[in-house]
Amino acid sequence: QQQVKQSPQSLIVQKGGISIINCAYENTAFDYFPWYQQFPGKGPALLIAIRPDVSEKKEGRFTISFNKSAKQFSLHIMDSQPGDSATYFCAATIADTGRRALTFGSGTRLQVQP
């Protein structure tokens, strides 16, 4: 059962453009939603995260938008740069239980063209 669905699979954006990646989740118990960035040969690294009590969180060029009623959240990368070219994963977890294991989406491969 795929509990977090991510789209698109791949994305090509021109330098300076906006990259948008979308995720939808099924488990309403999820209460923490991080985004990870992964470069080839590296493990995922936390980029930004949000809890469902807010609808938006911004850190630099990265913004998460969260829609609790629709069970959807998205990552917006403003002024996309070639260095942003990587695979991005959304994830979700139940933060207030002991386990806190992450459930990941299938990933979006972003290419930012110069």
Partner 1 sequence: DTGVSQDPRHKITKRGQNVTFRCDPISEHNRLYWYRQTLGQGPEFLTYFQNEAQLEKSRLLSDRFSAERPKGSFSTLEIQRTEQGDSAMYLCASSLEASGRSYNEQFFGPGTRLTVL
Question: Where do contacts with partner 1 occur on this chain (CB under 8 A)?
Answer: 4, 6, 9, 32, 34, 36, 41-46, 49, 89, 91, 93, 95-96, 98-107
Q: Which residues pair with 89 in a beta bridge?
A: 36
**Which positions ≥6 away from 40 have C-beta within 8 Å?**
none
| 68 vs 100 by CB, closer to partner 1 | 100
| 30 vs 80 by CB, closer to partner 1 | 30
What's phi and psi for 84, nearest 5 deg? Answer: -80, -10
What's phi and psi for 5, nearest 5 deg? Answer: -105, 130
| 17 vs 87 by CB, closer to partner 1 | 87
To partner 1, the closest distance from the beta carbon of 42 in angstroms equals: 6
